[in-house]
């Protein structure tokens, strides 16, 4: 109902509490984005505002689109001391899906002569696609070690570089993981999937810095015009998906048993202090470690392949950050500092300058915020802003966001044609699935430049650099 909307400023839209809403809903977007946003987002962001213990507001980022229960691009924080809940649907199925960007120290001119053979090597050596398996097989003991050790576990086994760790969220290892809360089925699904990209929207991309918006921050990030970077987008594979599926089912029952009235079954949740809530948190944190380990291993493979082509260059991690998580973080609400359970689903954590969790080299400037666009249009690197804390618990968009469903995209494009058109623009796509490429056609996504501009205008994060794709290995 558009009558319920108030426009606070050019990029802030507010829905005051009505019905069972406990807090307002706030959507950050410009006018074009809000007009194009699917109605389900408004319904979902107001539904989330009805959940117990929610504080301040239920937020949607400028790339928001319809999701399972919570919108993708949703942010909501819950207070454990005010009957707050944790929700599997508020985290998403691909637990800790996220992005890492690595600096290569190379320029576009270094890549162009070998672009095709580099694309072929990456495609041959990075397992991608539905049900893809890798060279790493985990026995039950190693599985549990991985689930508690995250990227630290990977580097200890030689699949990575310990220097990366300080540039990974949680220093590469999420505390509080409980492998015993992860089902055998979830572990079985992950047994052969470490170091694999997965399918759909997951990718490994070689990108060039096409434009710099903030020279000072870009310098601190190690980014210059025409530099080449490698970006990896993937998550916790079969393990996270299985955990999400199982806990969603359990939480529907648990919510009912705890007397929580759900505006939508898909919002299944449990009190933070409940047995199932705690069990979910233990399993979800294990899945976070799985995703952190997975991206570290994939980064290691990228290093190895780049090493064949450019023996004098090493890939250095700029940053690794997740966009599907529930994290306990201190935030000031009503003048009081409280530990909140911040759900970010399709939303990137975006800490501003000075945040204690940032490594020394980045602390003064703020956290790199890594935003995918599409395989054809480009991507962005932003930096967390001090204003973001008050705006959305230090969160920002995570991508362009879908404009068309996969189904609608399939009707409109053929994978072959998308690949040929992009090749003509100097962008090499390699994918096992031509159908997947059609579903992921650049036209199926919103305008990423408009999305990040809105995020900047809203004070969520500031633009640092725009990247254009050279090679995309697509799951
Ligand atoms: P999600 O995490 O929701 O699956 O995807 C995050 C974002 O990644 C999407 O909103 C989209 O903008 C972006 N994205 C999807 N596919 C690609 C790709 O192949 N390359 C790049 N650079 N971005 C992509
Ligand atoms: Mn994912
Ligand atoms: Mn993702």
Say what the pLDDT of residue 131 is.
83
* Least distant ligand from the CA of 398: 1
* Least distant ligand from the CA of 240: 2
Say what the pLDDT of residue 454 is.
98
The backbone region for 200, taken as left when phi is positive above 0, alpha when psi lies in -120 to 50, beta otherwise, is: left
Is the CB–ligand 1 distance for residue 205 below 6 Å? yes
pLDDT digits (tens, 9 = 90+) for 119-167: 999 999 999 988 888 889 999 999 999 999 999 999 999 999 999 999 9
For 6, other C-beta atoms within 10 Å of its C-beta total: 11
Instruction: With residue 95 as reference, give the H or E element that holds it.
Output: none
Is the CB–ligand 1 distance for residue 322 below 6 Å? no
Say what the pLDDT of residue 132 is.
86
Residues of the chain with pLDDT under 70: 1-3
Is the CB–ligand 1 distance for residue 375 below 6 Å? yes
DSSP state of 475: -
Instruction: With residue 12 as reference, give the H or E element that holds it.
Output: strand 12-15
| C-beta separation of 101 from 368 below 8 A | yes
The residue assigned the tokens 């300058």 is 353
Stated length of the chain? 475
Q: Cα of 130 to ligand 2 centre, how many Å?
A: 13
Q: Cα of 373 to ligand 1 centre, how many Å?
A: 5
Could you give the CA distance from residue 255 to residue 83 in angstroms, rounded to a whole number?
12
First-to-last alpha carbon distance for the chain, in angstroms, is 38
Q: Atom 14 (ligand 1): residue with closest C-alpha?
A: 374
Is the CB–ligand 1 distance for residue 373 below 6 Å? yes
pLDDT digits (tens, 9 = 90+) for 15-59: 999 999 999 999 999 999 999 998 999 999 999 999 999 999 999
The residue assigned the tokens 């090499």 is 428
Could you give the CA distance from residue 195 to residue 159 in angstroms, rounded to a whole number?
9
CA-based radius of gyration for the chain: 21
Name the residue of 95, 200, 372 whose CB sits within 8 Å of the most ligand 1 atoms, as the mutation to test its pocket. 372
Is the CB–ligand 1 distance for residue 263 below 6 Å? no
Q: Which residues contact 243 (CB under 8 A, 6 or more apart)?
A: 88, 95, 182, 183, 186, 236, 283, 284, 286, 287
* Least distant ligand from the CA of 93: 2
User: Any idea which residues carry the catalytic annotation?
Assistant: 398
pLDDT digits (tens, 9 = 90+) for 166-210: 999 999 999 999 999 999 999 999 999 999 999 989 999 999 999
Q: Atom 3 (ligand 1): residue with closest C-alpha?
A: 346
What is the ipTM, given to two decimal places? 0.99
Could you give the CA distance from residue 260 to residue 363 in angstroms, rounded to a whole number?
41
Q: 327, 386, 341, 335: which is closest to 169 by C-alpha?
A: 327
Q: Cα of 475 to ligand 3 centre, how many Å?
A: 12
Please, where are the H alpha helices in 56-203? 108-111, 115-125, 140-156, 184-190
36-59 burial, b at 16+ Cβ within 10 Å, e below that, comes to: ebbeebbbbbbbbbbbbbbbbbbb
> Six-digit token pair at 457?
């205008």
Q: Atom 8 (ligand 1): residue with closest C-alpha?
A: 372
* Least distant ligand from the CA of 232: 1
| C-beta separation of 8 from 24 below 8 A | no
Q: Atom 19 (ligand 1): residue with closest C-alpha?
A: 375
The beta strands (E) that lie in 155-301 are given as 203-212, 227-234, 270-271
Q: Cα of 151 to ligand 2 centre, how many Å?
A: 18
Q: 64, 60, 61: which is closest to 38 by C-alpha?
A: 64
Q: Cα of 376 to ligand 1 centre, how many Å?
A: 11
pTM higher than 0.90: yes
Q: Cα of 322 to ligand 3 centre, how many Å?
A: 8
Is the CB–ligand 1 distance for residue 346 below 6 Å? yes
Could you give the CA distance from residue 236 to residue 215 in angstroms, rounded to a whole number?
34
Is the CB–ligand 1 distance for residue 72 below 6 Å? yes
Look at the alpha carbons of 464, 466, 470, 475 in this order and tell me if their dihedral is positive or negative: positive
Query: Percentage of the chain with pLDDT > 90?
Result: 96
Is the CB–ligand 1 distance for residue 351 below 6 Å? no
Is the CB–ligand 1 distance for residue 203 below 6 Å? yes
Largest separation between any pair of C-alpha atoms in the chain: 64
Q: Atom 2 (ligand 1): residue with closest C-alpha?
A: 346
CA distances to 119, 205, 374, 381, 382 from 467, in Å: 18, 10, 11, 8, 11
For 156, other C-beta atoms within 10 Å of its C-beta total: 12
Q: 426, 444, 448: which is closest to 435 by C-alpha?
A: 444
């Amino acid at each position: 109902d558009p009558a319920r909307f108030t426009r606070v400023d050019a990029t802030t839209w507010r829905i005051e509490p009505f019905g069972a809403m406990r807090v307002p809903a706030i959507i950050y977007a410009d006018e074009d984005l809000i007009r194009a946003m699917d109605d389900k987002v408004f319904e979902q962001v107001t539904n989330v505002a009805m959940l117990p213990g929610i504080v301040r507001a239920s937020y949607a980022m400028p790339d928001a689109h319809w999701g399972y229960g919570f919108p993708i691009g949703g942010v909501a924080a819950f207070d454990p001391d005010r009957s707050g809940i944790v929700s599997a649907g508020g985290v998403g199925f691909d637990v800790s899906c996220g992005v890492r960007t690595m600096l290569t120290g190379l320029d576009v001119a270094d890549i162009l002569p070998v672009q095709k053979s580099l694309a072929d090597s990456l495609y041959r050596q990075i397992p991608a696609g539905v049900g893809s398996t890798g060279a790493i097989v985990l026995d039950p003991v190693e599985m549990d070690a991985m689930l508690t050790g995250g990227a630290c576990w990977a580097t200890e086994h030689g699949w990575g570089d310990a220097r990366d760790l300080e540039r990974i969220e949680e220093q590469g290892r999420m505390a509080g993981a409980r492998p015993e809360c992860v089902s055998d089925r979830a572990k079985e699904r992950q047994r052969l999937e470490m170091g694999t990209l997965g399918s759909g929207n997951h990718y490994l991309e070689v990108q060039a810095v096409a434009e710099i918006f903030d020279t000072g921050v870009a310098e601190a990030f190690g980014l210059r015009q025409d530099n080449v970077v490698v970006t990896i987008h993937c998550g916790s594979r079969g393990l996270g998906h299985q955990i999400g599926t199982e806990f969603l089912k359990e939480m529907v029952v648990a919510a009912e048993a705890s007397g929580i009235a759900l505006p939508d079954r898909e919002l299944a949740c449990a009190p933070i202090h409940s047995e199932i809530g705690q069990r979910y948190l233990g399993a979800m944190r294990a899945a976070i470690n799985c995703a952190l380990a997975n991206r570290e291993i994939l980064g290691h493979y990228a290093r190895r392949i780049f090493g064949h082509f450019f023996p004098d260059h090493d890939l250095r991690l700029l940053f690794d950050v997740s966009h599907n998580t529930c994290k306990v973080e201190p935030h000031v609400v009503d003048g009081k500092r409280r530990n909140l359970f911040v759900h970010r689903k399709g939303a990137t954590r975006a800490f501003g300058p000075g945040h204690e969790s940032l490594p020394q080299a980045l602390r003064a400037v703020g956290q790199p915020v890594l935003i995918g666009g599409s395989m054809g249009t480009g991507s962005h690197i932003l930096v967390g802003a001090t204003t973001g804390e008050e705006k959305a618990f230090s969160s920002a968009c995570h991508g362009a966001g879908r404009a068309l469903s996969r189904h609608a995209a399939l009707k409109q494009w053929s994978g072959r044609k998308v690949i040929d058109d992009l090749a003509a623009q100097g962008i090499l796509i390699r994918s096992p699935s031509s159908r997947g490429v059609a579903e992921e056609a650049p036209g199926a996504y919103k305008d990423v430049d408009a999305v990040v501009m809105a995020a900047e205008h809203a004070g969520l994060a500031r633009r640092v650099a725009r990247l254009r794709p050279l090679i995309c290995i697509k799951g």
